[in-house]
Amino acid sequence: MAVDIREYEPVDTVVQAVEVNGLDLDDIVAWINDTSNLKGIVGQPALRGRSAEYIDLQTPEGMLRAVLGDYIVTDGAGSFWKESRSVFERSYNPRAGGNTGGEGGEGE
């Protein structure tokens, strides 16, 4: 998997997140579908060639659309949600040595 998934810390818990960047949507969707505890298709990328790429994400609260710049976040227990970049960057701090892998990721 070529997705650069990293760990981030809010005040009271650790989450994993990846930014929707338009380059590796299929890998992000595979990560969601491999680790989600929801049944059926829980992540699906936009069709290639559209002007705006996004990922539709099934959550317990309903379908959400993560667009370029949004973060897709998981608690590690199979729940996923999206955060806008501005909210995510104010709410979470990168964890020291918190790169969980994926090809191209560089741990400390």
More confident site: 42 or 88: 88
The pLDDT of residue 58 is 82
CA–CA gap between residue 96 and residue 67 (Å, rounded): 27
In the chain, where are the structural domains located? 5-96
Q: What contacts 72, CB < 8 A, 6 or more positions away?
A: 17, 18, 20, 28, 32, 55, 57, 66, 80, 81, 82
Mean pLDDT, rounded, for 65-80: 87
Q: What is the pLDDT of residue 98?
A: 62
23-58 per-position pLDDT tens digit: 778 888 888 888 887 766 666 666 665 556 788 888
Is a pLDDT exceeding 50 seen at residue 107?
no
